[in-house]
């Protein structure tokens, strides 16, 4: 059967199921009320007049999609709570407050005040969660965490929101921590665990270890996990964290994530002994494609370690980190620091008044290559430091420092350009640069220095000091295009005449204003601030960007149909700000939902291949991973040959160059590209290349042979829609034709998920995901397509999936080809623990249709009806499972509904089962609710 036709059939059934689901009253869930002052656990908890009393009652209950748990405002619980059950995208489970007064107070010294393990689809909001441990910060006991969410089995979780809570502890010297989301997996785990995590608008303070953390733990090595694949689309936004013994916000093992609009101050304040982890205000670690934007960090100290105490840090084993539009000031260490990382950017930040008193270096921006992960990555490569305002106003500090601290690969490709450097008058021991041995910065140019005399200069490189700009330029070749000017302390004029409109073409709000003027150092840019209230004070925590012209388009995390208010201020080259602002406002239009999208150019992994894009050569027999990432070319390379794969370029050699996308989950995808395929250049001997696309080992474009690409003639990358199963390989192959001369090809494939499934199978490939428990199962060809067949009349069961699956729709084509005289049965099994404990639906040629459960081998009928099922006819059977409700469809028509008041099985695997019949299954899907 053609893949597209299969998809249309599956989509039709899913659309029908979801449509029915959305219209049902039960989908809204049940609201439970809890009051420590007026409640009783014998109550049903379903009204404010009959609330439960304890958090233990909540912990004993497994909740369903759409449920709400409301805690009475003003009440206090001196106990912890464990949250059970999973919500869905449309119907999350929420725990929050009801009534008036202060936030409900949950306080405990347990390892977690609020905990959750292997669940998704939750909103935790509006609570006051308090750690009460009396253990000291360095106590060997388990830390007392306010919110602790853990993943430790295979599954696919999403949609956790922690919003608007007050998180606090007993003090900066306590063994306490705020919010931690962690994944505990073995070393070889390099795939997604959870996605769509939002931690926003929380106040976190008076804790020992850390305010907010996302982290992976390597259960094999008992060490921090090194993969950046574990978490995708983590958003840490608009939080305030302060009075902390050690860390601020630490985001690890994450990709395509954002840390925005947070304020962290007065962290690293522990002054005792025993802490070895140098603190930072905000930092990603072992992550990729993370935006750190619009944050303010100040008054960081070093927890008495002598290390770090920095505002913002690109830590080790990071790649493609963007640190932009942040304000880091008055920290004991540096404003912005780095550890060992590659292909990152530090741009348009403001750093000032940082004291540089710790081990990283003296710079307001301090570069280092420190790492405890030299086996995975070392060195500092391809870092861009540009367009920052750097104010050197502390004794014995510099604008930029670099320091080699770890063994391994050397530094390369790092640059420092177009920065504004203000050297404050009368401060002892300051300098422009302090470049350390074995820590070179390859390009330093086009910077603008502002200082009282307009001519003084001091810098050090590799242990040699330079007292004039001329000597520095002559010895290093740096700053040939840089300038030195006199300080300007006067503010620029005010912008005026602001206006804003929704721009449907750019999906943003376009703002214009009348330009300001500056008679001193010159206008550098405008700062644009935003709020949903008309009166607000400009701050980095509400900034949405900068513009060098009198116009700007805001696309930062906009919500549909919302009125946004803007303030625009002018800033000159010395960092002086206009005394006034000009306002503007507009209502946003419709913001379409984001798709699950993977683009070769934006997803390339350079520290390790994966998690979804891989880079191979094909020698006619084997796909072999390319040996290493070659930083100067920004490409994966096959040793000394010219065979490479880069962000959007491929070059073949004697073997084919192959970019491979591995499907992270089941679903329907569309393949495309942002531009046509083309050869970059040409010369003598060039003969073009051949290209094609494979799904696993089957060619899907062109229909046969190769598509030739020659210089000067572009080839449109095809738009293809097809189903994939987790682990399927889509291969974009470039062949050299006869020679490898001038064969570098631009090709930027894009993969969009149109819909996703927990599992799908058309049985055209391996049945490796199915575990046969009984019977005789095999893949057969029937009516020109593959089917999964069970022939044992005594019965057969095959299972798939994980024990954590909870709410889903499963559907399959079912064909009973032979049946016993007394009737044959074909089942879809769900929430299966084992063969004797499960739910299932069945069709039978003699017994109609039923929904049943089996407990310890004993069957109970939950719903049944007569329904014609003919031997030799294929039926599309599906069941939707939401909480304790089950709905069975045959050929797209709802036939049976049942609830299980006992809610016997809340999670489990799925299965196919037969009895007294030969049965064929096809086009199986399992879609999350």
Q: pLDDT tens digits, residue range 319-347?
A: 999 999 999 999 999 999 999 999 999 99
Write out pLDDT tens, residues 48-79: 999 999 999 999 999 988 999 999 999 999 99
Q: How confident is the model at residue 726 (pLDDT cuts 50, 70, 90)?
A: confident
The one-character DSSP state at 15 is H
Cα dihedral 368, 370, 373, 378 sign: positive
- pLDDT beyond 80 at 7: no
Contact (Cβ atoms closer than 8 angstroms) between residue 20 and residue 893? no
- What percentage of the chain reaches a pLDDT higher than 70? 97
Question: CB of 677 within 8 A of CB of 715?
Answer: yes
CA separation for the pair 267, 295 (Å, rounded): 15
pLDDT of residue 767: 86
Identify the pLDDT of residue 28.
60
- What is the per-residue pLDDT for 22? 32
Give the single-character DSSP code of 542: G
Q: What is the pLDDT of residues 609-661, one digit of tens each?
A: 988 999 999 999 999 999 999 999 999 999 878 999 999 999 999 999 999 99
| Strand segments (E) across 457-612 | 459-461, 464-466, 483-486, 496-503, 508-514, 523-531, 543-547, 551-554, 563-572, 582-587, 596-599
Q: Write the DSSP symbol of residue 661.
A: E
pLDDT tens-digit readout, 227-236: 999 999 999 9
| Residue 915, φ and ψ in degrees, nearest 5 | -155, 130
Q: In a 3-state reduction of DSSP, which class is residue 16?
A: helix
- Local confidence band at 2 (pLDDT 50, 70, 90 cut-offs): very low
- DSSP sequence for 65-85: TT-EEEEETT-EE-S-EEE--
- Give the pLDDT mean for 30-37: 97
Least confident of 84-98, 346-360, 856-870: 84-98
pLDDT of residue 811: 95
DSSP secondary structure letters along 128-162: EEEE---SBTT-SSPPEEEEEEEE-SS--EEEEEE
**pLDDT score of 746 more than 50:** yes
The pLDDT of residue 454 is 66
Q: Give backbone dihedrals phi and psi of 500, rounded to 5 degrees, phi first.
A: -140, 145
pLDDT at 4: 28
* SS3 at position 18: helix
pLDDT at 25 (0 to 100)? 32
Alpha helices in 417-574 (DSSP H): 469-476
Residue-averaged pLDDT of the chain: 94
For the segment 889-894, the average pLDDT, to the nearest whole number, is 96
Contact 720, 698 (CB under 8 A): no
Instruction: Please report the pLDDT score of residue 374 as a whole number.
Output: 87
Which of 800-813 are b and which e, b meaning 16 or more Cβ less than 10 Å from the residue's Cβ?
Answer: bbbebbbbbbbbbb
The 10 Å Cβ neighbour count of residue 111 is: 15
What's the pLDDT at 156? 79
Q: How does pLDDT run across 195-214, given as a tens digit for each residue?
A: 999 999 999 999 999 999 99
Q: How confident is the model at residue 595 (pLDDT cuts 50, 70, 90)?
A: confident
In the 3-class helix/strand/coil scheme, how is 199-260 assigned residue by residue?
EECCEEEEECCEEEEEEEEECCCCEECCCCCCEEEEEEECCEEEEECCEEEEEECEEEEEEE
Inform me whether the pLDDT recorded for 16 exceeds 60.
no
Of residues 489, 482, 474, 480, the one with CA closest to residue 425: 489
Collect all residues with Cβ–Cβ distance below 8 Å to 865 and sequence separation of at least 6.
848, 849, 850, 895, 896
Give the pLDDT band (50/70/90) at residue 246: very high
pLDDT tens readout for residues 808-848:
899 999 999 999 999 999 999 999 999 999 999 999 999 99
Distance CA 372, CA 225 (A): 12
Cβ(9)–Cβ(2) below 8 Å: no
pLDDT greater than 60 at residue 5: no
């Amino acid at each position: 059967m053609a893949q597209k036709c299969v998809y249309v059939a599956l989509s039709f059934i899913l659309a029908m199921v979801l449509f029915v689901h959305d219209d049902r009253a039960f989908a809204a869930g049940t609201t439970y009320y809890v009051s420590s002052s007026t409640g009783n656990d014998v109550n049903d908890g379903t009204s404010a007049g009959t609330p439960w009393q304890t958090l233990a009652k909540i912990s004993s209950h497994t909740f369903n999609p759409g449920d709400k748990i409301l805690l009475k405002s003003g009440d206090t619980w001196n106990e912890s709570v464990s949250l059970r059950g999973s919500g869905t995208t449309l119907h999350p489970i929420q725990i929050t407050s009801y009534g008036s007064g202060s936030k409900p107070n949950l306080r405990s010294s347990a390892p977690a005040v609020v905990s959750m393990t292997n669940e998704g689809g939750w909103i935790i909001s509006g609570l006051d969660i308090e750690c009460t441990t009396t253990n000291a910060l360095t106590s060997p006991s388990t830390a007392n965490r306010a919110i602790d969410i853990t993943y430790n089995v295979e599954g696919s979780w999403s949609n956790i929101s922690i919003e608007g809570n007050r998180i606090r502890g007993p003090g900066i010297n306590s063994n306490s921590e705020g919010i931690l989301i962690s994944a505990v997996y073995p070393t070889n785990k390099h795939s997604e665990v959870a996605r769509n995590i939002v931690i926003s608008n929380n106040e976190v303070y008076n804790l020992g270890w850390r305010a907010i953390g996302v982290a992976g733990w390597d259960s094999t090595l008992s060490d921090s996990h090194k993969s950046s694949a574990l978490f995708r689309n983590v958003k840490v936004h608009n939080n305030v964290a302060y009075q902390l013994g050690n860390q601020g916000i630490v985001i690890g093992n994450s990709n395509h994530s954002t840390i925005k609009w947070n304020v962290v101050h007065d962290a690293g304040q522990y002054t005792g002994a025993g802490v070895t982890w140098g603190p930072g205000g905000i930092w990603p670690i072992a992550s990729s494609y993370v935006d750190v934007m619009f944050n303010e960090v100040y008054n960081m100290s070093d927890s008495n370690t002598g290390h770090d105490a920095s505002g913002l840090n690109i830590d080790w084993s990071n790649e493609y980190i963007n640190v932009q539009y942040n304000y880091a000031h008055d920290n004991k260490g540096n404003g912005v620091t780095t550890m060992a990382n590659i292909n990152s950017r530090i741009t348009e930040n403001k750093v000032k008044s940082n004291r540089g008193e710790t081990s990283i270096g003296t710079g307001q921006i301090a570069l280092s290559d420190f790492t405890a992960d030299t086996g995975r990555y070392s060195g500092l490569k391809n870092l861009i430091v540009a367009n920052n305002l750097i104010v050197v106003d502390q004794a014995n500090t510099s604008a930029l420092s670099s320091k080699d601290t770890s063994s391994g690969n050397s530094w390369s490709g790092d640059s420092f350009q177009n920065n504004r450097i203000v050297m404050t008058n009368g401060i002892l021991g300051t300098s422009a640069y302090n470049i350390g041995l074995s820590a070179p910065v390859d390009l330093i140019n086009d910077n603008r220095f502002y200082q009282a005399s307009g001519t003084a200069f001091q810098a050090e490189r590799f242990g040699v000091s330079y007292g004039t700009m001329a000597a520095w330029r002559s010895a290093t070749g740096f700053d040939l295009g840089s300038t030195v000017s006199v300080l300007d302390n006067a503010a620029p004029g005010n912008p005026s005449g602001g206006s804003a409109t929704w721009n449907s073409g750019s999906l943003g709000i376009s703002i214009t204003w009348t330009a300001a003027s500056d008679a001193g150092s010159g206008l550098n840019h405008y700062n644009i601030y935003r709020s949903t209230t008309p009166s607000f004070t400009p701050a980095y925590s509400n900034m949405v960007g900068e513009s060098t012209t009198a116009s700007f388009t805001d696309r930062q995390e906009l919500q549909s149909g919302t009125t946004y208010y803007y303030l625009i201020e002018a800033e000159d080259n010395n960092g002086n700000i206009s005394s006034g602002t000009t306002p503007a406002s507009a209502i946003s239009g419709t913001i379409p939902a984001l798709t699950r999208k993977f683009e070769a150019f934006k997803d390339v992994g350079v520290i390790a291949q994966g998690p979804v894009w891989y880079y191979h050569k094909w020698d006619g027999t084997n796909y072999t991973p390319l040996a290493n990432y070659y930083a100067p070319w920004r490409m994966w390379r096959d040793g000394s040959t010219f065979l490479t794969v880069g962000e959007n370029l491929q070059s073949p050699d004697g073997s084919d160059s192959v970019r491979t996308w591995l499907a992270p989950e089941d679903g329907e995808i569309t393949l495309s590209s942002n531009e046509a395929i083309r050869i970059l250049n040409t010369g003598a001997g060039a003969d073009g290349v051949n290209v094609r696309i494979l799904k696993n080992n089957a060619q899907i474009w062109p229909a046969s042979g190769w598509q030739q690409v020659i210089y000067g003639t572009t080839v449109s990358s095809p738009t293809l829609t097809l189903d994939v199963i987790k682990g399927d390989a889509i291969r974009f192959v470039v062949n050299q034709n006869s020679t490898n001369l001038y064969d570098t090809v631009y090709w930027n494939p894009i993969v969009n998920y149109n819909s996703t499934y927990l599992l799908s199978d058309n049985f055209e490939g391996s049945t490796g995901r199915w575990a046969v428990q009984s019977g005789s199962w095999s893949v057969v060809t029937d009516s020109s397509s593959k089917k999964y067949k069970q022939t044992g009349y005594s019965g057969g069961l095959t299972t798939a999936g994980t024990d954590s699956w909870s709410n889903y729709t499963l559907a399959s084509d079912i064909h009973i080809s032979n049946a016993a005289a007394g009737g044959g049965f074909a089942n879809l099994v769900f929430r299966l623990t084992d063969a004797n404990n499960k739910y299932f639906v069945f069709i039978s040629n003699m017994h109609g249709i039923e929904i049943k459960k089996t407990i310890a081998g004993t069957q109970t009928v939950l719903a049944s009806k007569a329904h014609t099922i003919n031997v030799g006819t294929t039926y599309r059977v599906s069941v939707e499972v939401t909480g304790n409700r089950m709905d069975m469809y045959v050929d797209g028509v709802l036939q049976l509904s049942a609830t299980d008041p006992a809610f016997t099985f809340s999670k489990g695997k799925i299965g196919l089962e037969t009895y007294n019949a030969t049965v064929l299954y096809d086009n199986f899907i399992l879609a999350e609710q």
